[in-house]
Chains A and B, each alone.
Chain A
Amino acid sequence: MSSAAERPAAWRAAAGLWRRTGVRQMLLQTLVVAAAFVIAGVLAQASIARLSEAGIRRQVLGEAGSMVEEWRQHGAAHLPHTIRKRSRLWRGFEYGLARPDGRLVEGDPDIVVAAAGWREATAGGRTILAYTQRLPDGSWLSVGQDESVQRRQASAVASALWACGGAGVLIALGVSALLYRRTWLRVDRLAQTAALVSAGDLKVRAPQRRAAKADDIDDLARDFNGMLDRIERLIAQVRQVTSDVAHDLRTPLTRVRHRLERLETAAADHPALAESVRQIDADIAETLRTFDALLHLADIESASTPPGMADLADVAARVTDAYRPDIEESGRSVEARFTSAKVFGDADLLAQLVANLLENAMRHTPTGTRIRVVVEADAGTARLSVVDDGPGVPEHLRAAALAPLVRLEPSRNTPGSGLGLSIVAAVATRHRAQLTLGDAAPGLAVTATFPAAA
């Protein structure tokens, strides 16, 4: 049953349990219960031991008194006879009689001593508490009682206490676990709901009980669900507004462009007029590009991880091949090193990510710059990097470089909408990839680290 492979799972389960609400309180309570039992047990045992020793002493003194009485009434010669008789009848006492010089006359040699008072004698596995007194003729009389009977009683009491204590601790643990289990399951369901929402499912809701049974966890679930309702409504509104704006702006612009096209045809005999019509059309096209890029950015940001799977190496190779002639024509060079690396996601969006990074590397570097595109895979991750040996981006400006419409050149007169890297960041986020801008010493290294698919 307990194979080596099962043990880490058990450890993980135990570690998971430790992190749960109430487990630590529960264990502390159990510890207090156990400590109370231990203290009570120790005290009880001590007082039982004391009581039983006092009882033995009383009985031994009584027996000794009765023996002295025997000696007085029947004389010294009769005492050994009494000892034999009482030993034979077994009244629960041990006896010893010795001459004044300490030599044994009758009884148990282990308890006989030539000194008055109490002492403990151990013999044959027994512990005998014995009282010795000097008789008027100078001989020594010892009476003792075996303590082991009382000891056994005391230890029986102790075992009973331990058993009760152990059972008490187990019951305390079990009852607390049963009580907390329901709480844990409900907290688990809340956490699962939150995880599904983070993964992009806005339709899920946390379970809630009827108002009559509701407790603080239900209140939490209700507020949590209220928050989800609001998030879902807001996202739906943003989508609606986005598509309404897109429709309401594109429809008239379509008409404008179509009028311009007819105007251009009509102006065939006036080259200057036809040219300015083309200019207007080009300006409208440029406005639309920025507008489209903004809509596209909002669209990418509002959705969850797209379905499907793509090989980053294939995507990067396709895009790099497409841009290679352009990069070379511009006086820069590009080299590629690709290792197959599958990721979950949308090949079109990933292609745009690579394209925007390449365009960025072309636009912000001097001629002669070498650009490297690298796709690597290792345990659990797939990495795409676009690295150049151009001037790079100073560390304090790197975060700003990813923000929409930000351009690091203050003049804003290089071409580009300032949305390229924002779209890269949005595509990366949508694919759960980590995007970093680093120093390639010299140059800029942009790396997107994706969770690998299988």
Chain B
Amino acid sequence: MRAFAGSSAASASLSLLVVEDDAADAEYVREALTDAGHEVAVAADGPAALVLGRSRSFDVLIIDRMLPGMDGLTLLGALRASGVDAPALFVTALGAVGDRVAGLEAGGDDYLVKPFAFAELKARVHALNRRRANARPATLLQSGDLTLDRIERQARVAGAAVDLLPLEYRLLEFLLLNLGQPVTRKMLLEEVWGFRFDPRTNIVETHISRLRAKLDRPGAAPLIQTVRGAGYVIGG
């Protein structure tokens, strides 16, 4: 088992803007993200964030939806209007069915309900940055001797074809698109299965273990690694 630390070779240092009115929480988030090797700017309210966001370019914006004065949705609208196109992650204490949709419609790219684990936040920040970097889709994904041909929809390990069920293919593809970065159970549920609720069973674990059984060769190190408290990772 490999501990996930910020020192991973693949984890690029990103410049992040955190907009959070709760000072203590903003500080925890800043520390956690700084420890992970990122450069973090913090704004306590909408107007301050607007000034910061327009003056510098950030890789990812992390915005609390409930801010005093100008709420998160309005803030992002204003930033988008002035040409800021960095992916935005809404962090919110509102978890109602309509709230997430409203967040995404306002130009948000992802939505995280409080209280969240740092690992979840870090993984999502990386995934958002990665999604923008992957704007031109690669047709061949690779890690070690594992390749995934996205045109033939065929996985190969050391040249030998491995037959995957559609769900297993999507699972492997998502892990490879986030090469070297852990993806959380929650992210997999949302991206691979389209589930926005929390199943009380081990569906992710069971699918991962079936996928491992197909990909791993005896004696070799497992391709998909479990990162405790964070999720799963391939490569890196």
Which A residues lie at the B interface, using CB under 8 A? 242-243, 246-247, 250-251, 253-259, 261-262, 278, 284, 288-289, 292, 295-296, 299-300, 303, 306, 318-319, 321-323, 325-326, 329, 346-349, 351-352, 355, 359, 362, 415-416, 420
**Given known A-B contacts A321-B167, A326-B203, A355 and B195 have beta carbons under 8 A apart:** yes
CB pairs A–B below 8 angstroms (15 shown): A246-B95, A247-B66, A254-B114, A254-B115, A255-B28, A256-B115, A258-B29, A261-B118, A262-B31, A262-B32, A278-B229, A292-B113, A323-B201, A325-B203, A420-B200
List chain A residues, Cβ under 8 A from B95: 246, 292, 295-296
User: Do residues A326 and B202 form an inter-chain contact, with CB atoms below 8 A?
Assistant: yes
Q: DSSP majority for the B interface?
A: loop
Name the residue of chain B whose CB is nearest to the CB of A249: B93
Which B residues lie at the A interface, using CB under 8 A? 22, 24-25, 28-29, 31-32, 66, 93-98, 113-118, 167, 193-203, 206-207, 210, 229
Cα of A347 to Cα of B197 in the assembled complex, Å: 12
User: Do residues B97 and A349 form an inter-chain contact, with CB atoms below 8 A?
Assistant: yes
Name the residue of chain B whose CB is nearest to the CB of A306: B97
Cα of A277 to Cα of B98 in the assembled complex, Å: 34
User: Do residues B24 and A329 form an inter-chain contact, with CB atoms below 8 A?
Assistant: no
Cα of A321 to Cα of B165 in the assembled complex, Å: 10
**Given known A-B contacts A323-B201, A362-B201, A299 and B195 have beta carbons under 8 A apart:** no
User: Do residues A295 and B195 form an inter-chain contact, with CB atoms below 8 A?
Assistant: no
User: Do residues A355 and B199 form an inter-chain contact, with CB atoms below 8 A?
Assistant: yes
Cα of A321 to Cα of B207 in the assembled complex, Å: 10
Number of A-B residue pairs at CB separation under 8 A: 111
Interface centre among A278, A326, A362 (most CB of B within 10 A): A326
Report the minimum CB–CB distance from A317 to chain B (whole Å).
Answer: 11
User: Do residues B114 and A322 form an inter-chain contact, with CB atoms below 8 A?
Assistant: no
User: Do residues B94 and A352 form an inter-chain contact, with CB atoms below 8 A?
Assistant: no
List chain A residues, Cβ under 8 A from B229: 278
List chain B residues, Cβ under 8 A from A295: 95-96
Report the minimum CB–CB distance from B120 to chain A (whole Å).
Answer: 10
Cα of A295 to Cα of B118 in the assembled complex, Å: 23
User: Do residues B206 and A246 form an inter-chain contact, with CB atoms below 8 A?
Assistant: no
**Given known A-B contacts A250-B93, A253-B115, A325-B210, A303 and B98 have beta carbons under 8 A apart:** yes
**Given known A-B contacts A251-B25, A322-B203, A326-B201, A243 and B94 have beta carbons under 8 A apart:** yes
What are the 6 closest A-B residue pairs judged by CB atoms, nearest first?
A254-B115, A247-B93, A258-B28, A250-B93, A250-B114, A325-B206
User: Do residues B114 and A261 form an inter-chain contact, with CB atoms below 8 A?
Assistant: no
Report the minimum CB–CB distance from A288 to chain B (whole Å).
Answer: 7
Partner of A325, one of B29, B115, B207: B207
Report the minimum CB–CB distance from A55 to chain B (whole Å).
Answer: 92
User: Do residues A299 and B97 form an inter-chain contact, with CB atoms below 8 A?
Assistant: yes
Cα of A306 to Cα of B117 in the assembled complex, Å: 31
User: Do residues B200 and A416 form an inter-chain contact, with CB atoms below 8 A?
Assistant: yes
User: Do residues A300 and B97 form an inter-chain contact, with CB atoms below 8 A?
Assistant: yes
Report the minimum CB–CB distance from A168 to chain B (whole Å).
Answer: 62
**Given known A-B contacts A258-B25, A415-B200, A251 and B97 have beta carbons under 8 A apart:** no
Partner of B117, one of A242, A257, A259: A257
List chain A residues, Cβ under 8 A from B115: 250, 253-258, 284, 288
